Amino acid sequence: SHGYFTYDPGFMATASCRSEITYIDGDLGILLHRGYPIDQLAQDANYLEVCYLLLYGEAPTAKQYEEFHRNIMRHTMVHEQLSSFFKGYRRDAHPMAIVCGVIAGLSAFYHDPMDINDARHREIAAHRLVAKMPTIAAMAYKYSIGQPFVYPRNDLSYAGNFLQMMFAVPCEDYKVNPIVERAMDRIFTLHADHEQNASTSTVRLSGSSGANPFACIAAGIASLWGPAHGGANEACLMMLEEIGSVDRIPEYVEKAKDKDDPFRLMGFGHRVYKNFDPRATVMRDTCHEVLDDLKIQDPLLDVAMELERIALSDPYFVERKLYPNVDFYSGIILKAIGIPTSMFTVIFALARTVGWMSHWNEMISDPKQKIGRPRQLYTGAAQRDFKTQVEKK
Ligand code: SDX
């Protein structure tokens, strides 16, 4: 999987590396993880099974899964001293800023010598991050609302443990709602990996220099935060709330078409999918399931459905093949299960960590891989002689 970067005249960096992990066909709306279609994985696998598949290349046997599950759940606690990292942030800091900083800080935390050329060390790094991301994500949320951190519980599922660390308080019992737990696990699966997107390419490029993997994942988190990428789920829900009602949709659709207006319909369009994002289809079905099961009538879902209908019949969107993407429905589900908007992209980063680590591991384990070195099309001044205009004292 030799990495190489080429620039097209539009100066849009296209990073392409050979990989065996995920296959996307943007025209046919196909997404495969190690050959398995995403809709089948979302239906029949749980997130930790998908993590095993992405990291090791094959679906786990019952025995392999049991060992992997036990290993991950036994590493969900973080070092007590890590909690002091959070104290440097203002309480109103965005949880993505906190998570980005704390994950980068992990590179200073683990003093056991990390030899990234040793497959076992790489495996430990991947397990640590998959295990600890939910704990750190929940700590970022608890810190931002001034509540005490909640310790992980190994008797719960991966998704159930995350929910209890997010919502439990010391003064009362917390019961995981199985409907919410299943929806959370499916959201993790739908966000696990997505080929060479901006954040994964960031992890690969930063990792290609041999940098510490925790620092590389922090770089991926930073890239994911942008509203054009993972930040779109938070931006999409805020857009639906701003639209507020079905009768205001046409005004926003017109805004999105206006070249002079920077407004875009968040949750629509994709760099690769010029057909439906297969994750959006699963997400839409899950959205209806969760709202029905939880008996929630969310007017935002009506706005989302009507926006989808109008946008998909509007020539501007049809000609440009702008379909709902993974971020369009996820925010409505997350809101329905009680996740605060500020945590939407953190959940995306939590779920995508296994994808980033799978790509990082695939690249580092390739003996032929070299440091990434994007080239450019130079459009600056031709060579000329310099004459200072500053009088030197
Ligand atoms: C993710 O890469 C991945 O795999 C990412 C991701 C993953 O899992 O890692 O799938 C996750 O990031 C999904 C995308 C989330 N972002 C959003 O929902 C933000 C809104 N979408 C846009 O910002 C946009 O669609 C992008 C950034 C996703 C793609 O932008 P491009 O590359 O400019 O899209 P394009 O080239 O296909 O655009 C074609 C035309 C352009 O107009 P023209 O110049 O042809 O006149 O469509 C327009 C664009 O201006 N357009 C939109 C639009 N998206 C594109 N117009 C209005 N609203 C939109 N959302």
| 270 vs 276: CA distance, rounded Å | 9
- Is 50 exceeded by the pLDDT of residue 1? no
**What number of other Cβ atoms are within 10 A of residue 212's Cβ?**
18
Q: What is the pTM of this model?
A: 0.92
* 382-389 long-range Cβ contacts below 8 angstroms, 24+ apart: none
Atom of ligand 1 nearest to the CA of 274: 37
DSSP 8: -
Share of the chain above pLDDT 70, in %: 95
- Is 60 exceeded by the pLDDT of residue 65? yes
pLDDT of residue 111: 63
The SS3 of residue 72 is: helix
| 383 vs 263: CA distance, rounded Å | 40
Protein residue closest via CA to atom 28 of ligand 1: 270
pLDDT of residue 227: 92
The SS3 of residue 38 is: helix
| 311 vs 314: CA distance, rounded Å | 5
Tally of residues, the chain: 393
| 95 vs 344: CA distance, rounded Å | 10
Give, for ligand 1, the residue of 11, 325, 353 to mutate: max count of ligand atoms closer than 8 Å to Cβ: 325
Q: What's the token pair of residue 55?
A: 């990291």
Q: Calculate mean pLDDT across residues 97-124.
A: 89
Cβ atoms of 286 and 329 within 8 Å: the answer is yes
Cβ atoms of 68 and 126 within 8 Å: the answer is no
Q: Calculate mean pLDDT across residues 61-90.
A: 95
pLDDT of residue 125: 94
> pLDDT band at 206, cuts 50/70/90?
very high
Share of the chain above pLDDT 90, in %: 85
Give, for ligand 1, the residue of 23, 188, 233, 264 to mutate: max count of ligand atoms closer than 8 Å to Cβ: 264
- Is 80 exceeded by the pLDDT of residue 4? no
- Is 50 exceeded by the pLDDT of residue 11? no
Mean predicted lDDT score pLDDT of the chain: 92
**pLDDT tens, position by position, 361-372:** 999 999 998 999
- Decide if 270 is catalytic: yes
ipTM of the complex: 0.93
Catalytic residue among 69, 75, 270, 359: 270
Better-scored residue on pLDDT, 32 or 107: 32
Dist. CA 278 → ligand 1 center (Å): 16
> pLDDT band at 109, cuts 50/70/90?
confident
